[in-house]
Structure 1
Amino acid sequence: MTIKIYGDPGSGSRRRVTSAAKIMGIDIERVNVDLFKGESHTPEFLKLNPHGLTPVLQDGDIVIWEASAINLYLAEKMNSDLLGRTQAERFEVLQWMFWSGEQWRIFGTLTFDERIGKRFMGQPEDESIVQLAFAKIRAGAAVLDAHLAGRKFIVGDHLTLADIDIAAPFSQSARSKIPLSEFPNLVAWQQRLLDTVPAWAETKREVDERIDTALAGAGIAL
């Protein structure tokens, strides 16, 4: 049975899952959920995830939401070294994934919601929220920039789920203008992922096409 992944093509979180699946050679069925039309809040979808958020994995009777949990499930299923090649690497990967969820990605998402999402609802952004998010992003980026000095990847000498999780804010950074360009090691690492991980570059094109089309359709110019 093919694994189903529910999500919107413009979602950076779905991007994390579809990229990881592609890298691991997993055959998935993409079930599009249009977030702009509220399809994640239909009664049918809420049976999959009561939070009304994507992505969601369905593998037979198994249903998992939250992109990081989905990627951990897929990596375990495939015994993939995206989860680390040694026990020490595995725990370091988990450390960075948890850090990313609590200290990093949330602020990129918050900025997108304020600067882009509110435009679709005809609401002004709250500058105080944006500045709070920027302060948190800069604090996290400083840690990452120092960590990446002399490194090609977040953990060890190869791509892991930590890279995929932490790279997620770059999915919308050009639109939300989060201050990542201030950190050269971080910028170089992200470009290296685009240059050397075909799945990451491919999913960037998917996100760009989806969001840019939605913006144009709504008459929103950034």
Structure 2
Amino acid sequence: MTIKIYGDAGSGSLRRVTTAAKIMGIQLERVSVDLFKGESQTDEFKSRLNPNGLTPVLEDGDTILWEASAINLYLAGKVNSPLVGTTQEERFQVLQWMFWSGEQWRTFTTTIFDERVGKTVMGIAKDESLIKFAEGKIRAAAKVLDRHLEGRRFMVGNGLTFADIDIAAPFSQVGRAKFPFEEYPNLIAWHDNLLQSFPAWAETKAEVDNRMESFLASAGVKL
């Protein structure tokens, strides 16, 4: 049975799933959901797929699952993937960083993306105080990452895991949202290694960039 994944090609969260699926050798049927047209906000989408009106959403037979991290763990369980870690200790460390990424990292990069990109597209004034607050949180988290990544190629162990994929996700929009990542050399070096070592991460970067730049050009928006 075909596994469907609903999402917008410009989404860093969808990128986490499509990258992981490529690496795990799992075929997904892509179903486009145009977030810019509000296609995830319809009553049908919310009632059948995700009451939050967000993507990505996985559909595997009778199973409907949202949140990229949960989707990736579900897919990994199908193929016993080492992306979850190769030992019990590593698995808990991977989960630790996945949860940390959602609470201490991506939530603040999303805030800045919404302010600098989303509001520009909608023609709404940015909240500079909110941007400043979120940048402070990002810098605090990036300092933790930079220290952890010194001398490391991966977040956990000696290979790629979901900890890397989750924490790398904000790099999908770094140029457009102008996150202050360049201040942290170990963080930059780690992400450069992911791009060079994993073709799937580079391929999905190109997909996100093409989608976002095409949309911004069509909307006449310059960031």
TM-score strictly above 0.5? yes
Query: Which whole-Å CA distance do the structure 1 matches of 2:202 and 2:208 have between them?
Result: 10
**Whole-angstrom CA distance in 1 between matches of 2:76 and 2:140:** 30
| 1:174 partner letter | G
Matched with 2:64 is 63
Deviation per CA, 1:6-58: give whole Å up to 9, x if none: 00000000000000000000010010000000000112211210000000000
Instruction: Provide the rounded CA distance (Å) in 1 between the counterparts of 2:151 and 2:109.
Output: 25
> 2:183: which partner in 1?
182
Inter-partner Cα distance in structure 1 for 2:193 and 2:44: 40
Identity of aligned residues (%): 68
Residue 152 in structure 1 maps to residue 153 in structure 2: yes
Aligned to 2:23: 23
CA distance in structure 2 between the aligned counterparts of 1:123 and 1:95, rounded to whole angstroms: 36
- Structure 1, gaps ≥5 residues long: none
- The equivalent residue for 1:4 is 4
AA aligned to 1:148 is: L
Map 1:1-222 → 2, pairs under 5 A: 1-46=1-46, 47-222=48-223
Q: Equivalents in 1 of 2:156, 2:2: separation in Å?
A: 30
**Whole-Å separation in 1 of the counterparts to 2:125 and 2:12:** 23
The one-letter code sitting in structure 2 at the alignment partner of 1:198 is: P
Shift of 1:119: 1.3
TM-fit CA distance, 1:150 = 0.4
- After TM superposition, the runs of 4+ consecutive aligned structure 1 residues lying more than 2 A away are none
41-50 or 135-144, larger mean C-alpha shift: 41-50
**CA-to-aligned-CA distance 1:87-143 (integer Å, 9 cap, x gap):** 000000000000000000111111000000011211011101111110000000000
Q: Scaled by the length of structure 1, what TM-score is found?
A: 0.99
Supply the distance in 2 between the matched residues of 1:51 and 1:98 (Cα, whole angstroms): 19
Distance between the aligned counterparts of 1:195 and 1:125, measured in 2? 35
